[in-house]
Amino acid sequence: MKTTSLLLFFCIGIISCLNAKITTPAIFGSNMVLQQNHACPVWGKAEPSASISLSFAGKTYQTKANEKGDWRVTLDPHAATSTPLIMKITEESSDGKNISGSLSYENILVGEVWLCSGQSNMQWSVSRSQDSDLESLSAHYQNLRLITVPQVGSQEPQYDFKGAWESATPTTAASFSAVGYFFGRRLHQILQVPVGLINNSWGGSACEAWIPRNRLQQCKLAQPYLKEWQEKEKNYDYDSQLEDYKNRLAKWQAEQKSGNAKGKRPREPRNQMSGQHRPANLYNGVLHPLIGYGIKGTIWYQGESNAGRAHAYREVFPLMIQSWRQAWGQGDFPFYWTQLADYMNEAYTPDDSTWAELRESQTLTLQQLKNVGEAVIIDAGEGRDIHPRNKQIVANRLLRHALVNEYGHKIPNRSPIYKSHEIMGNKIQITFDQAGDGLYCFDTRKPVGFSICGADQNFVWAEAKLVVKDKVEVWADSVTSPVAVRYAWSDNPVCNLYRRDDAVTLPVTPFRTDGFPLSTTGK
């Protein structure tokens, strides 16, 4: 009897192993959304040289695993559908005699897929945002699908992660990225097609951590940060820290038993080498497992951690976008980011600001790359909190870019931006692009937030007035021969100039007309 049981157990084990041979990474699975009208790749692992058959939407695709067991097929483009589809994948052994493994994924939809990435303001959940109770309670969207990538930092490209696609429900939406969810929910409602959202954000992350090392090494302005980390890597000894922690923990536990415990339980040291600041860690850890999955585009909210390297961001940020696009092999897919919000104390004098310089670097990226857009939220921050709770306004301004550029809607989407200036005696006249139906002053009749300087480069607060719909005159009685103007140039500027189109208002993009060296650069 025992022999029979052991034999049966052994046979079941063999069958389980065979069925477990063929796999796909977690980005593929039941409940996923595939990008519509796109030749979506599907990949996985199997027995070396095995024949793979994939059936989806009435078509069958054949391929062979290579000598390492890697396989890949590309699906024909498919129109959006909310009718659940099934994907079946089978593996035939290399000798061609039998089916050695199979997978079946159900409830698959085809629609729009967006990647939601960045640092804590993208990671910030619905449950911690404004009106979170109402948002969670109303989250009943079976065709809005969500997946979150766990935070794993690595210098080695990761193949997979632990996660699964889920429909948006009061529970799943509450813990998902608020900016991502609000963006995707409204997109789903407007287009009336399924929407898939992939969240791989990581709070506090540096832009350099999202870029492969070989690309960073070619970026001149990234070298100081790279060298700083090379020194850390050379001298960092995590094993010693861990051993010291174990000794302190053992001592504390012994004191607990004897009733002589002093202080709190020792904290286990965090391995800085696996964190979100190390160059390339997040590119390898939380982005690499997704690269190639069919997407429409990316929304991005990051920059706070780079404010101390604001000047370098003018090269580092566009390099990051380019490196993602090149790795994806999907052309210049849409990439829309959120400019830094207003934060910290309001300035009494118009001084230099790392946050203002970082915003400038973000805006300069518009001139360097195609198919990009910036959501200006200089009016949406909270001076005392780096995490503004109103994520709706952020998502809405990002969504406007997508609706206009990707989906053909005719709505206002771009904030007014500095175009040119002309010195007219003791005044400087600024002309704006993207002024819409005309510029508008919120709360007061005159524009505020401008500063002006003469040849001494000493900026003072300025007076301003609207001239015509896209022009503003700026002056100060103490500056008789002005040379430059700045607007909203501080950490937390007091400013009130908008583009107005009926009930839609979009804030003017912070800018400066000068190229003076900044005291903040390089810090």
Per-residue pLDDT tens over the stretch 160-219: 999 999 999 999 999 999 999 999 999 999 999 999 999 999 999 999 999 999 999 999
Query: How many residues belong to the chain?
Result: 523
- Confidence check: pLDDT of 16 > 60: no
Per-residue CA distances from 493 to 5, 440, 496 (Å): 76, 17, 9
pLDDT for 95 equals: 67
Provide the residue ranges of all domains of the chain, joining segments of one domain with +: 417-512
Q: Which residues contact 502 (CB under 8 A, 6 or more apart)?
A: 437
Residue 436 is classified by DSSP as: B
Q: What is the pLDDT of residues 218-267, one digit of tens each?
A: 999 999 999 999 999 999 999 999 999 999 999 999 988 988 877 889 99
Using a 10 angstrom Cβ sphere, with 0-12 exposed, 13-18 middle and 19 or more buried, the burial of residue 457 is: exposed
CB atoms within 10 A of CB 406: 18
Residue type, 307: A
Separation of alpha carbons 175 and 501, rounded Å? 35
Could you report how far apart the first and last alpha carbons of the chain are, in Å?
A: 76
Q: Look at the pTM and tell me if it is higher than 0.85.
A: yes
Give the pair of three-digit tokens for residue 491.
Answer: 């950490």
pLDDT for 96 equals: 64
Q: What is the mean pLDDT of the chain?
A: 94
Q: In what order do the strands lie in the sheet with 439-441?
A: 439-441, 497-501, 504-507
Angle at 79 between CA 77 and CA 85, to 5 degrees: 90
Residue 215: phi and psi, rounded to 5, are: -80, -40
Specify the range with the lowest mean pLDDT, choosing from 27-41, 88-102, 448-462.
88-102
pLDDT for 34 equals: 99
Residue type, 297: G
Separation of alpha carbons 431 and 467, rounded Å? 10
Q: Which residues contact 166 (CB under 8 A, 6 or more apart)?
A: 31, 145, 146, 147, 172
Angle at 365 between CA 434 and CA 496, to 5 degrees: 45
pLDDT band at 7 (very low <50, low <70, confident <90, very high): very low
pLDDT for 263 equals: 85
pLDDT for 81 equals: 98
Name the percent of the chain lying above pLDDT 70. Answer: 95
pLDDT for 261 equals: 76
Per-residue CA distances from 510 to 307, 372, 484 (Å): 16, 18, 14
Give the pair of three-digit tokens for residue 147.
Answer: 């997946």
Four-residue CA torsion sign, 465, 467, 468, 471: negative
Residue type, 300: W
More confident residue, 97 or 363: 363
Give the pair of three-digit tokens for residue 102.
Answer: 């199979």
pLDDT band at 283 (very low <50, low <70, confident <90, very high): very high
